[in-house]
Structure 1
Amino acid sequence: MSRVDQWTIALLGESGIGKTALAVTFALDTECGASLSSHVWSGPVNLCPGMPEPDPPLRKQFIVDNRMCFVELLDSATGQVAEPHQYQFIAEGDGFVLAYSITSRSSFDHVEAFHEAVKRVKGANAVLILVGNKYDERSEREVSREDGATLARQLGCEFIETSAKTGQNVGRTFTGIVRALRQTKAAESPPAPTPFPIPLKGKKRQKCIIF
């Protein structure tokens, strides 16, 4: 495998939609609420939605397309876009999970505000994915899959529905962001300079002098 690449992925969205649970489920390979006794963890143990954010940030090494990567997950402690520290939080991210709960229309309606904040800080080409969490509670759905897909098209990003509780599509979410970040970095990198041909050394031609 080639070199390890490093990325910071920030999770944005209203409070209580499962951002922390998504991060924990992915980083620790466990379902939200499962035993964490087999993992080395110095932060709080109650990490389901509504609980304090992890401190220090969650980190994970994993392989994407036969290439190792190192990811740090930043989980915003607040669901308010306008708070000043939120922009510093966004500035630290390379890629972004814009999350809402499929059981909360309000959380869905606020996604565009978070997207505007990302654009303001990182520009229109920021790498992000729209995530509708709590698929395990789909019997209480307030946001249709079609609404999520439509918003993703408007934002110009991928869309996926997840369940932090069961782990459904959580790995695919972060793997997809890493792929998109790699593609963006490759597109922005200048092409390698073309080397000038080096003339072969040989015998110098004898000049012919005509009188």
Structure 2
Amino acid sequence: MRYIHQKFVERYDPTVEDSYMRQVEIDGSAVMLEIIDTAGQEEYRSLTGMYMEKGHGFVIVYSITDIETFHETPKYYEEILKAKDEKEGAKIPIILVGNKIDLEEQRSVTKEEGENQSKKFGDFCKWIETSAKTGENVDSVFEELVRMINTAEGGEEEEAEEPAAEGGSQTKPATASSDPAQPSASETKPATKPKRQKKKCIIL
């Protein structure tokens, strides 16, 4: 919620798979993020798998002040593997996030424990600690996740052809003119390089 609204929400009432859109620029490329909050509640578990199957990247969050939330992280990792039909260590972009570092004096999960847990989730999982309250490292989570998604997909960006004119075809063959004063269509309309679209990433 901090990343979407750019402010701290003291009381957040999660509902079934809230979806948020945000356009950002990362490493010079425009990216449209669709962020789906799966709420993490048992009553919504049956719906979560459908969204996980479509997801490009995943954020698993625990509170550094609540050891039980940390102990639940392997369960979410297993659910991601199941939804993506992958085995442990698969190249799935995942960031394990320890939240509430503004409450350091209440810490019950050490940094070492968090980092070691991410390593158990495979070489393609990263670990970051954040504070939704102060905003520390929140943007970094999503920026790094997009980079991981690009790496997993080979760093390719989507391309689109020039849109067709209304009522016309998308491409027209070049035609020669019998009038020397009239240049051919290929001379008057040079080929246009395909435009790059915004990349879209679905993040859970």
TM-score w.r.t. the length of structure 2 is 0.68
Identity over aligned pairs, percent:
30
Tell me how far apart the structure 1 counterparts of residues 110 and 43 of structure 2 sit (CA, whole Å). 24
The answer for unaligned runs of 5 or more in structure 1 is: 1-23, 34-47, 190-211
How many residue pairs get aligned? The number is 151
Counterpart of 1:59 in structure 2 is 21
Mapping 1:21-60, distance limit 5 Å: 24-33=1-10, 48-49=11-12, 51-53=13-15, 57-60=19-22
Moved more, 80-89 or 145-154: 80-89
Is 2:151 aligned against 1:174? no
Counterparts in 2 of 1:54 and 1:121: CA distance versus 1, 3 Å: closer
Match of 1:118 among 70, 73, 80: 80
- Superposition misfits of 4+ residues, deviation over 4 angstroms: none
Contact 1:129 1:158 in 2 (8 A): yes
In 2, distance between residues paired with 1:54 and 1:85?
Answer: 8
Instruction: Give the residue type in structure 2 aligned to 1:127.
Output: P
Counterpart-to-counterpart distance in 2, 1:61 and 1:82: 27
Asked if 1:141 corresponds to 2:107, the answer is yes
How far, CA to CA, are the matches of 2:126 and 2:108 in structure 1?
20
Aligned AA (1:70): M
Q: Could you give the per-residue CA deviations for residues 153-191 of structure 1, whole angstroms, max 9, x where no partner exists?
A: 1112110001111101000000000000011111699xx
RMSD over aligned CA atoms reads: 2.3
Q: Which amino acid aligns with 1:31?
A: F
Is 2:95 aligned against 1:129? yes
Q: Which runs of 5+ in 2 are unaligned?
A: 158-204
Q: What is the TM-score normalised by the length of structure 1? A: 0.66
Query: Is 1:107 aligned to residue 84 of structure 2?
Result: no
- Alpha-carbon shift at residue 83 of structure 1 (Å): 2.9
Shift in alpha-carbon separation, 1:140–1:111, aligned structure 2, 3 A? same
* TM superposition shift of 1:52: 2.8
